[in-house]
Amino acid sequence: MLASGDDVAQKDRITLRGLRAVGHHGVFDHERRDGQEFRVDVTLFVDTSVAGGSDDLSATVDYGTLSSALVDVIQGEPVNLIETLAHRLAATCLADPLVADVEVTVHKPQAPIPHEFDDVSVTIRRGRS
């Protein structure tokens, strides 16, 4: 459930864009077998005031640690849909108690589409209940 717009508007943001990893997601056998690159953008809605005042990493989200957890999800158990992958990535972000809300975009630039295109992506927003 997404927090109210006012709550999100008052939160600070930490953004990680263009995280890349090879995953084996898709509905076609060749996608599962061969894999392909997925790119992920996440925006975390957090209160950074304590970290900003203390200069202490433990008071904020460690985006290095988070990026490793997100790559583990991308490289992990295959799913058919990037919507499902986005939900798993959002849950990974929300596992950090400092993250109030998250926006996740999963890009699949090598999607099996029979036409020229730049990108296919799904964006979701999730928050704490």
**What does the domain layout of the chain look like in residue ranges?**
5-127
Q: Enumerate the β-bridge partners of residue 12.
A: 46
The architecture of the domain spanning 5-127 is: 2-Layer Sandwich (3.30)
Percent of the chain with pLDDT over 90: 90
* 9-19 average pLDDT score: 90
Report pLDDT for 9. 55
- Active-site annotation, residues: 108
pTM of the model: 0.91
CA distances from 59 to 46, 83, 128 (A): 11, 31, 19
C-beta atoms surrounding 102 within 10 Å: 24
Q: In this predicted structure, what is the pLDDT of residue 128?
A: 84
- Asked if pLDDT for residue 12 goes beyond 70, the answer is yes
- The CA dihedral of 103, 104, 107, 112, to the nearest 10 degrees, is -110
Rounded Cα gap, residues 51 and 121, in angstroms: 32
With bands split at pLDDT 50, 70 and 90, how would you rate the model's confidence at 110?
very high
